[in-house]
Chains A and B, each alone.
Chain A
Amino acid sequence: MSLLPAPLAPVRPAFLTKVTPAARLVAGFTWIIAAVVTLDPAVPARLTIAAIVALVLWSGLPLGRIPGRMAPLGFAILSLTAFSILLSGSNTDRSLATVLELGPVRVTGPAIAAGLAIGLRVVVIGLTTLLVVGPSDPTRLADSLVQQWHVPDRFAYGSLAALRVAPFMAGDWAVVGAARRLRGLQPRGPIGRIHDAGDRILVMLVSAIRRAERLALAMDARGFDSGIRRTHFRELRVGWRDWLTVAFALAVAVAAIALPS
């Protein structure tokens, strides 16, 4: 009775699934930095096209499920863009030509450009994150962070273990809610709802801490973080695909900035 939607995972072998997560992270950063440092909306627009092409050709992700999963983000981006356009300072500049006028609201060309630039940046960040995280499971990301970037074991594998028990917490949340409903405890009014949510969270916290204690004890019993230098069952080696990915991403980022508008 899992309440969490299944994570997006590759459904077919693809180029990016064979690239180490650390290399994908570096490649992704070049695009995010390029999108954030420029004011011209053309740069994030080009990167959006590049990210879509990469998702379709090289990610191996089930393309049909991506729009559904990105819908909440898409809604946020649309509202962000709309507000950025409507509230832009250049709308009050009478020297600029009016593009659209709705009663008291006047929209100018530069306002639209600025709003689009803001919205498209978030689009680039979202799609790039999907390209970085989507093509491999969290275990490989943790392996990559520890082996290539020397992130502490305790942080990387501890987080991984926490991620594994998250679905159980969703189940606990449903049980807590069910128990309260059947005792006739129905929150009344906004204050009641806040109280009710607080009580439910308290119960969840107790349960989560007990679960974490058991898991930590089991990890300790198997020698986790006992002072011995950890070895790796799945070794990640930097290969030609990693270098190619980073070089290609960098070239696209540079081109997106340098091309004339």
Chain B
Amino acid sequence: MTDRPRPVAIEAEGLGWTYAGRSRPALQGLVFRVEPGRVLLVLGPSGSGKSTLARALAGLVPHTLPGRWGGSLRVGEMDVATTPARFLGERVGLVFQDPDSQLVMARVEDEVAFGLENRGWPRSSMTVRVPDALAQVGLAGFERRDTATLSGGEKQRLATADVLAAGPSLLVFDEPTANLDPPGMHATLARLAELAQRREHTIVLIEHRLEAALPLADDILMIGEDGRQLAFAPAGSVGPEAADLLERSGAWVPQAWRRERDPIQAPPGDHSGAQVLRASEVRLDYPTDGAGTRRALDGVSLHVRAGERVALVGPNGAGKSSLLFALAGLRRPDAGTIRLRTLPRGGVAAQQWRDPARVPAGEVADQVGIVFQDPELGFVARTARGEVQASDAAARRPRPQRGHGEGPGLPSSEGVLARFGLVNLASEDPFRLSQGEQRRLSLAALALRPPALLLLDEPTFGLDRRGTGAVLSLLDELLATGQAQILATHDPRLLPACDRVVALDQGRKVFDGTPGTFLAAPPYSPAEPWRGDSAQPGRAGVRSTGRSSR
């Protein structure tokens, strides 16, 4: 327990796994060998079994989750299929994606000690290892902090300290930065790079932020949609054929390997339309513990035109969600005004403005819509078809002539299902769909009666390149009907697909301009995290001139 860990080799021979109750294997026929102390980057589209591989390395597959195992996987001298999970767990540390569902304890030092307690470490060793592990991830001095008060990046570093404390030989990171804002992502990847340089652990990294992750990798494993290995090679010698296979699988591909056209194109909208949203000097306060308040928004003004797509960016806690809630009329501002243009009614082009908080329930669906980061929380029906029809069925006014179905006249729910690629799933329970299908359904649900203003919170979260492209092209169609879209995101890759970028920091608007200007000089320090992974200018096709829309 006291001697330093030694990195181990990983060896897979025909590794396969099928989860109980599924007919399609999650992984099949993987053959690779990673030498001790190297960093393996695993690439593949959504649903390719990357997370399953991470679980297998930690022994959760096959020891905790039920299913059918095939072939062999060795971590050092241990055969995963036959080694009890507790021995594997001592040598392998696994860091998951979601910072909020992997921390157990309320206090930082208790959290790090949790895994050591489970493995029966004596108290004297724990008191040495806990501060040591925290120092390794840059959290020295955080021992007494409440884990709930940490930022997302700090939580992921804490989760790393949790697994480092036990002195593992193999570290597995399953999309550790997916839920983080750019500063958190930057800090987490920087710590990971330090760990990799020390060569004390073999590291397996699953990561979508490729431009930042690729320089860390020694070896690359590519897995296709069907869970089969596409390629395995040292990072420096990935051939064009392998890159091509990966690109065709729909996965994110590093810029340097890319040949196909980038799926992220400038928005097609004609944003010379009329203004649909006027928010002036919006202030929003939240009561805090005791008598004080925390200012979530401080004098934010925002005007948006029909057909315009605005990206809303900023670190966690900058006020993005608060602004979306306020614009949707779900939270009254404490000062300032929010006005939405009323929709034309009875052939009269109305020129009135109204408070979104006062729009009656029967009309709200045409005025403003919202898609949350977790599409499941927004589902209101028991079938996909019911989901598409729900807003229309609840509305008390005839549908405006702006819908999105097929053929002339009013669109039909069947037309919408076809447009969004959901015909075969029309009778399915929304909760049983895959992540990508749920995303498409959450947009299809707003297509029959497209709201004049659509608010989206991380609309491409967790999607691969193909999924992101599909969501953006559906959003383009809605934009073409004259809809205005505001899209809150941490992903700089989406910015070129927007007409304008609005950046918030600590509740204030700190930038309002074109994506090109924003990416060239982000109004944050350090600016690096925003530049790291974005599409290079010129790569993303023609960028809109981003005319100011004031």
Seen from chain A, the residues whose Cβ lies within 8 Å of a Cβ on chain B are 1, 5-6, 65, 137-139, 157, 160-161, 164-165, 167-168, 172, 175-176, 178-186, 199, 203, 206-207, 210-211, 214-215, 217-235
Contacts and interface: CB of A to CB of B under 8 A. Distances in A.
Interface in B209-252: none
Contact of B328 (A165, A182, A223): A182
Which secondary structure dominates where chain A touches chain B?
helix
Given A137-B106, A232-B117, A218 B123 contact: no
Interface of B: 55, 58, 60, 64-65, 85-86, 89-90, 94, 96, 98, 100-107, 109-110, 113-123, 126-127, 130, 147-148, 162-163, 286, 289-290, 321-322, 325, 328, 330, 361-365, 368-370, 372, 374, 376-380, 390-391, 394-395, 431, 445, 451
Contacts of B118: 222-226, 228, 230
Contacts of A184: 361-365, 391, 394-395
Contacts of B60: 217, 220-221
10 contacts: A1-B322, A138-B106, A139-B105, A175-B372, A203-B376, A218-B104, A222-B118, A226-B89, A234-B110, A234-B113
A235 B379 CA distance: 47
| Residue with the highest number of chain B CB atoms closer than 10 Å, among A138, A157, A180, A218 | A218
B104 A178 contact: no
B380 A180 contact: yes
B206 to A, nearest CB: 15
Which secondary structure dominates where chain B touches chain A?
helix
Contact of A161 (B90, B104, B370): B104
Contact of A235 (B101, B103, B123): B123
Nearest to A186: B361
Given A207-B376, A231-B120, A232-B117, A221 B89 contact: yes
Given A206-B431, A233-B110, A183 B380 contact: yes
Q: Pick the 7 closest A-B CB pairs, nearest first.
A: A233-B113, A186-B361, A218-B102, A179-B378, A222-B115, A184-B365, A226-B86
B379 A233 contact: no
A65 B105 CA distance: 26
| Residue with the highest number of chain B CB atoms closer than 10 Å, among A168, A172, A180, A182 | A182
A186 B391 CA distance: 11
A200 to B, nearest CB: 9
Contacts of A219: 104
Nearest to A153: B118
Contacts of B109: 233
